[in-house]
Structure 1
Amino acid sequence: MKKKLTVLATTLVTASLVLAACGSKNDGGNASNAPSGSSDNGNKEKVTLSIWHNYTGDDQRATTMRAILDEYKKSHPNVELDVQAIPPDGYRTRLKTVAAANEMPDLFVMWPGVMTKEFQAGNLLQPINELLDKQPDWKNGFLPGSFDGFTIGSDIYSAPIALSPTSILYYNKSILDANGLQPPKTWDDLLKAVDVLKAKKITPIALGNKAAWLAQSSIFSSLADRVTGTEWFLNAASNKGAKFTDPEFIKALQYLQDLGKAGAFQEGFNSIDNTQMEQYFAQGKSAMMIDGGWALTNLAASASKEALEQMGATVLPSMPDGKGDPNTLSGVVGTGIGMSAKVTGAKKEAALDLMYTLAGPDAQKRVLESNQLVSYKVDLDKSKVTPIFAQVYELVNSVTRTPVYDGVLSSAVADELNNGLQELLMGGKPEAIAKKVQAAQERSAK
């Protein structure tokens, strides 16, 4: 789910995940180390905390985070947790609904970038500077730029619990080999692969765009950056001379539509979600899949050992006459835990304690070992992760990071683009979709 200047983004990734790290076991997020000093829970005021999260699946990261919550309950008898677990595809909508009514839960999973800005502007959040300042070793353990998307002025509103490249091209090595193909490096390579695979009645690229964000986040953000360059997008998003009706943006839309018209995706791609897409790919029903780093923890939980060993990963191919760097991945630092502006007193003390438990050094290490990239200095023990995770870990460290569209655009503009890309892949005209996106951008700027 940051961000946004490429210079800062580059620093975050290339500083990256190979830094030695973390601290001793005494650095962990357990009760004895929590910032509120909560070891004497029996004498503390009893409070109830509501928390919303989207850790609902069977993927390893979700089960890890739920386990941490369960452990917290047992070690903090003074804190009653009212937990709402909401599936990822519906989570943002639910959260925005309660935000509009100013009825936020005490703690909630939130995204950096636009969501942080919009919630802060609505006086829905409060900063966590005091928590970070009480734990300087923890604060300094994050990779450079990790807090950028959660920071407004001098206030920091959350700490990331993940690192999310969004545009990884996953491929099935055995399917490509059997058809005389290599992972595509250029747009022509990709179109050739689509033709060869279609002739063999093999789905070239799995796509699950039911929730509309996937095509934007995992395909278009990276594809468009290769066509337009990052500077053009940032200027268009900030109304600084560039517009979404410019020829380069329309060209990017046309390229995505051409890929769809070539038969790259399976039938019904707008009727399945990204989890179903990942299962489709893991079962060997497609040769490729364009998805984020979040797929790694899902695949680790659901794919067979044999299937995992056949998976490879690379970046999207370069585009003809593209202005952007092809050796990049679109991406963001991951979600964090936000705290409602209404939380005070003993409840706030408990909330900060729980935030640290969920995002502290021990949790970061456990999340990494659940096959989820993190934006924290942790050494990777490759024996504890899948081969494809280890490969992506190295890939992310070898490329720079570019913006994800919905991490920069306002919610209204991002929704217009998401819906427009669904329309585009069903035959809509690129020029008409570009006009709708630009109109939404102009309305958002007022």
Structure 2
Amino acid sequence: MKKWISLLCSAAMLALLLAGCGGRNEASGSGDNGGEKVSISIWHNWTGQDAKAVAMRKMIEDFRTAHPEIEVVDEGLPTDGLKTRLRTVAAADEMPDLFVMWPDAMTKEFVKGDLLQPINDELDANPDWKNNFIPNALDGYTVDGKIYSVPMNLAPSSFIYYNDALFKKHNVKVPETWEELEAAIKTFNDNGVIPIALGNKANWVAQSTFFSTVGDRVTGTEWFLKAVEQDGAKFTDPEFVEALTKFQKLGDIKAFQDGFNSLDETQMMQLYFQGNAAMVVNGGWALANLVNNAPPEVLDNTHITIVPAIDGGKGVADTTAGVVGTGLGVSKKLTGARKEAAMKLFYAMAGPDGQKATLDSSTLVSYNIELDKSKAHPLFVELYDLIQRVKIVPVYDSKLGSATVEVVNNGLQELLMGGKPEDIARKIQDAQAAAVASN
């Protein structure tokens, strides 16, 4: 009898233990933390020592301090690695809770895959926040009337950063036309100076920071948007082949250092920091890196201009390719207490305080905040003033689908190494035609 009682008690205790474990799992799945610490994950690309990355990581640490009841598990990856990893986990429907994502093409792909949840309710609950973004800033994150994120910066992707001391030393004019750019390249080569540092190992660099603007200069924005939709324009059209040919000539006249397809963006910037290159073409985001890491003799002589006008092109001269900036995606699976915790972090980083911290890190924002020029670095003031008079046109990888972007990026690597522009144009056209047909 005692043996049966003992067995029954053991069974009862086991049942209680199992029920307890099951209860915790169920609560975790529903988002009800039951008084326990809530854990959320965030993936980002704030991995470097530039002022922007440092500021964003500090915001995460400050949030942890202010919210001890929330565990924030963050994982940082370089930009190209993050994009690849996100698309890998997207295919398996295993998205992190929050993650840095890009507007337009990536947002649309993730919405189509039913991976995101909209943030309309949070925006509507904070109208001062929602209504303070610059015009059209939310368009790239809006699909069928639902808003899936907000930009956390402004990302013009194509500026020429130039070392004015080297320009003066070799009596070179800062180029305002394409012919003047080619002349500057020749003079610097003749004097043993790398004209333009390029690091295109992660093959988005040439496309995003340089070719997207060159393409727009030649074809005009209207043509590009029609080609994206495959509606009245094709990438085999003469104007696009001309844009590729124009860009290829830069490789032919040795605009870039040897081995540019084997160096990454960090190494590219190092060539400029070391004073070995007269120019580097990069996005507005590069300024935070310059301010934090360039030696004084380079930083103090650095100024900024845009890619020169191209005579006979259909595009507007005072433009730069770009997007409103990256935002945070919110996983469709988030509910309950975990969603509430995630949205608190979202607001801390993308709300008014986060926008100000980003601007203070020498990074442009898509939000209406007045820059205190007395406290900002002079080079950032120069960039800030320049962007007030320059219009942003689409960067290629924000409008084309991921499969086409990969063909463009690989094609530009091939182009600069002597590939035939017509062949590359055909590959891009075939890829985009297939992408549009599959939608």
> Does the alignment reach a TM-score above 0.5?
yes
1:415 correspondence with 2:406:
yes
Residues in 1 aligned to 2:126 and 2:236: alpha-carbon distance in whole angstroms: 47
In structure 1, list runs of 5 or more residues that go unmatched.
1-41
2:381 alignment partner in structure 1: 390
- Cα deviation, residue 97, structure 1: 0.4
Aligned partner (choices 231, 241, 250) of residue 240 of structure 1: 231
Equivalent residues in 2 for 1:355-374, closer than 5 Å: 355-374=346-365
Query: For each residue in 1:315-370, what CA deviation from the matched residue of structure 2 results, as whole angstroms up to 9, or x when unmatched?
Result: 11111311111111111111111100000011111111110001111111111111
Q: Partner letter of residue 286 of structure 1?
A: A
Query: For each residue in 1:90-111, what CA deviation from the matched residue of structure 2 results, as whole angstroms up to 9, or x when unmatched?
Result: 1100111001110000110111
Aligned partner (choices 68, 71, 88) of residue 77 of structure 1: 68
2:183 alignment partner in structure 1: 192
Residues in 1 aligned to 2:234 and 2:404: alpha-carbon distance in whole angstroms: 13
Equivalent residues in 2 for 1:1-400, closer than 5 Å: 46-400=37-391
1:435 correspondence with 2:430:
no
Residue pair 1:44, 1:78 contacting (<8 A) in 2 also: no
Which shifted more, 301-310 or 400-409? Answer: 301-310
Residue correspondences, number: 405
Secondary structure, counterpart of 2:75 in structure 1:
strand
Residues in 1 aligned to 2:122 and 2:379: alpha-carbon distance in whole angstroms: 35
Residues in 1 aligned to 2:319 and 2:426: alpha-carbon distance in whole angstroms: 28
Secondary structure, counterpart of 1:445 in structure 2:
helix
Residues in 2 aligned to 1:377 and 1:444: alpha-carbon distance in whole angstroms: 36
Q: Partner letter of residue 351 of structure 2?
A: G
Residues in 1 aligned to 2:211 and 2:351: alpha-carbon distance in whole angstroms: 33
- Cα deviation, residue 306, structure 1: 3.0
2:15 alignment partner in structure 1: none
TM-score w.r.t. length of structure 2 = 0.90
RMSD after superposition:
1.3
Which shifted more, 380-389 or 166-175? Answer: 380-389
Residue pair 1:45, 1:346 contacting (<8 A) in 2 also: no
- Cα deviation, residue 272, structure 1: 1.1
Q: Partner letter of residue 421 of structure 2?
A: P
- Cα deviation, residue 273, structure 1: 1.2
Residues in 2 aligned to 1:397 and 1:175: alpha-carbon distance in whole angstroms: 27
Residues in 1 aligned to 2:145 and 2:410: alpha-carbon distance in whole angstroms: 35
Query: For each residue in 1:386-442, what CA deviation from the matched residue of structure 2 results, as whole angstroms up to 9, or x when unmatched?
Result: 222111111110111111000001111111000000010111111110010001011
Residues in 2 aligned to 1:279 and 1:382: alpha-carbon distance in whole angstroms: 28
Residues in 2 aligned to 1:275 and 1:385: alpha-carbon distance in whole angstroms: 24
Q: Partner letter of residue 96 of structure 1?
A: R
Query: For each residue in 1:169-188, what CA deviation from the matched residue of structure 2 results, as whole angstroms up to 9, or x when unmatched?
Result: 11111111111112111111
Residues in 1 aligned to 2:216 and 2:299: alpha-carbon distance in whole angstroms: 30
1:34 alignment partner in structure 2: none
Secondary structure, counterpart of 1:337 in structure 2:
strand
Residue pair 1:308, 1:387 contacting (<8 A) in 2 also: no
- Cα deviation, residue 45, structure 1: 5.4
Q: Partner letter of residue 73 of structure 1?
A: R
- Cα deviation, residue 43, structure 1: 9.9
2:25 alignment partner in structure 1: none
Question: Alpha carbons of 1:306 and 1:43: their partners in 2 closer, same or farther (altered >3 Å)?
Answer: farther
- Cα deviation, residue 46, structure 1: 2.8
Residues in 2 aligned to 1:125 and 1:78: alpha-carbon distance in whole angstroms: 25
2:395 alignment partner in structure 1: 404
Residues in 1 aligned to 2:122 and 2:104: alpha-carbon distance in whole angstroms: 21
Question: Alpha carbons of 1:305 and 1:220: their partners in 2 closer, same or farther (altered >3 Å)?
Answer: same
Secondary structure, counterpart of 1:287 in structure 2:
strand
Secondary structure, counterpart of 1:280 in structure 2:
helix
TM-score w.r.t. length of structure 1 = 0.89
Residues in 1 aligned to 2:202 and 2:167: alpha-carbon distance in whole angstroms: 29
Q: Partner letter of residue 420 of structure 1?
A: G
Residues in 1 aligned to 2:139 and 2:303: alpha-carbon distance in whole angstroms: 31
- Cα deviation, residue 268, structure 1: 1.0
Query: For each residue in 1:54-112, what CA deviation from the matched residue of structure 2 results, as whole angstroms up to 9, or x when unmatched?
Result: 11111111111111101111111211112111122311001110011100001101111
Q: Partner letter of residue 63 of structure 1?
A: V
Query: For each residue in 1:99-129, what CA deviation from the matched residue of structure 2 results, as whole angstroms up to 9, or x when unmatched?
Result: 1110000110111110000000000000011
